[in-house]
């Protein structure tokens, strides 16, 4: 409500609260104000605002408050008869829509105080939301009464939950065009046979298998080639070797019949028709199992396009620039002084080399 301040419930009170149906939301409110129009305030503003599944329902407090320093113990039974849509005069909430709201509560707000009231203090304590415990049906007592409003349904294979309020594993919600977000059918995940689980709301596939990736496991991961949509398995690129440790292609072209790699698209630092060599300023043995290309550590004192800038077998820097020298171009060359690493300002010494 734009003209009132509300407390916002933490995450513990949100999510699927179907098992709270018929239970009580209890809390203690305390107001201290220079005015004494508490009943007018509670008559104008909803005490509780509950949102879920694109539905917003409200509860108005109708019991009169007496006294100048009201402290009220409040208990609201979570049933459709105690809630309305938005305003008191609007359509009543049905059991079906109330359960839909409880199935995924996105926010729960309790009235703190209207902006227009000169309030000096407002507090809320002892907030509790009752929830049925399905594991304790044989442990009934006056302190743990039977939750007679909770249904436990035998759901079709594509539905799950005590009230079949959500989709089972391997299914997602397909919303109808007529009733918007309030009506849906649980349909199978569409993951091209590469996953049996997807996001229940979006249908986006989770945990794609067999080297696949994408919203619907429709593409191969980097370094693999295939077409999951056409049921062509993702196979590793031989760039240069068909093993994880020596596959240095972002992708490749492959003979679908034989599985032979015909063209490699190399990662940074590699080149060759099979990514079998190191690019300038890199060194290593990518064609040897466990080998790879590593950047030459020359303190940015080499030309990254110079094939002879560093030894591609050892990584030793060869053609050092900026008047530098050393295994890593880490110092000024003989008869020069300065900082070879940071400022790169190696300059000639002003002394005679002939002594």
Q: What is the pLDDT of residue 224?
A: 96
**Domain-embedded: residue 101:** yes
Domain edge (last residue) among 87, 107, 130: 130
DSSP per-residue string spanning 253-312 = EE-TTT--EEEEEEPTTEESTTS-EEPTTEEE-TTSTT--EEE---TT-S-TT-TTSB-T
**Domain-embedded: residue 254:** no
> What CATH number corresponds to the domain at position 322?
2.10.25.10
pLDDT tens digits for 7-65? 999 999 999 999 999 999 999 988 776 665 566 667 778 899 999 988 899 998 877 66
Mean pLDDT estimate for the chain: 88
Residues above pLDDT 90, as percent of the chain: 66
Measured between alpha carbons, how far is residue 67 from residues 64, 176, 244 in Å?
10, 51, 76
**Domain-embedded: residue 74:** yes
**Domain-embedded: residue 233:** no
**Domain-embedded: residue 28:** yes
**Domain-embedded: residue 40:** yes
Which is more confident, 104 or 39? 104
Residue 199, pLDDT above cutoff 90 = yes
**Domain-embedded: residue 86:** yes
Q: What are phi and psi of 38, to 5 degrees?
A: -60, -40
Number of domains within the chain: 2
Domain edge (last residue) among 130, 149, 171: 130
Q: What is the pLDDT of residue 1?
A: 45
Q: What is the mean pLDDT of residues 106-110?
A: 95
Indicate the length of the chain as a whole number: 355
Residue 292, pLDDT above cutoff 70 = yes
pLDDT-based confidence at 113, cuts 50/70/90?
Answer: confident
Q: Domain range spanning residue 92?
A: 4-130
DSSP state of 43: H
Nearest 10 degrees: Cα torsion 188, 192, 193, 194 = -110
Q: What is the pLDDT of residue 133?
A: 79
Domain edge (last residue) among 130, 164, 197: 130
Contact in structure between 240 and 286 (CB atoms under 8 Å): yes
pLDDT tens digits for 138-188? 555 555 566 677 778 899 999 998 889 899 999 999 987 655 455 789 999
Q: SS3 for 76?
A: strand
Region at 178 (left for phi over 0; alpha for psi -120 to 50; beta for the rest) = alpha
Reported pTM: 0.67
Rounded to whole angstroms, the Cα distance separating 295 from 173 reads 49
């Amino acid at each position: 409500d734009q003209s009132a301040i509300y407390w916002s419930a933490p995450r513990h009170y949100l999510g699927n609260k179907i098992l709270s149906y018929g239970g009580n939301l209890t809390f203690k409110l305390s107001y201290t104000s220079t005015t004494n129009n508490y009943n007018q305030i509670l008559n104008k503003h909803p005490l509780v605002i509950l949102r879920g599944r694109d539905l917003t329902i409200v509860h108005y407090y109708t019991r009169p408050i007496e006294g100048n320093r009201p402290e009220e113990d409040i208990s609201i039974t979570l049933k459709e008869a105690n809630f309305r849509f938005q305003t008191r005069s609007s359509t009543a909430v049905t059991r079906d829509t109330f359960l839909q709201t409880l199935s995924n509560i996105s926010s729960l707000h309790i009235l703190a105080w209207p902006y227009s009231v000169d309030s000096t203090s407002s507090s809320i304590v002892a907030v509790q939301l009752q929830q049925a415990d399905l594991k304790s049906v044989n442990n009934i007592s006056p302190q743990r009464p039977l939750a007679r409003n909770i249904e436990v349904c035998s759901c079709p294979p594509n539905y799950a939950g005590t009230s079949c309020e959500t989709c089972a594993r391997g299914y997602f919600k397909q919303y109808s065009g007529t009733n918007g977000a309030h009506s849906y059918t649980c349909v199978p995940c569409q993951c091209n046979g590469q996953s049996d689980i997807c996001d229940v709301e979006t249908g986006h596939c989770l945990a794609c298998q067999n080297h696949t990736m994408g919203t619907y496991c429709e593409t191969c991961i980097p370094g693999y080639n295939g077409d999951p949509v056409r049921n062509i398995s993702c196979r590793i690129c031989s760039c240069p070797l068909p093993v994880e440790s020596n596959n240095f292609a972002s992708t490749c072209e492959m003979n679908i019949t034989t599985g032979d790699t015909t063209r490699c698209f190399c990662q940074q630092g590699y080149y060759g028709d099979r990514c079998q060599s190191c690019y300038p300023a890199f060194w290593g043995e990518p064609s040897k199992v466990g080998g790879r290309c590593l950047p030459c550590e020359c303190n940015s004192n080499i030309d990254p396009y110079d094939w002879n800038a560093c030894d591609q077998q050892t990584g030793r820097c060869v053609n050092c620039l900026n008047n530098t020298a050393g295994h890593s171009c880490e110092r000024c060359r003989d008869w020069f002084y300065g900082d070879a690493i940071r400022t790169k300002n190696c300059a000639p010494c002003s002394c005679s080399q002939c002594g």
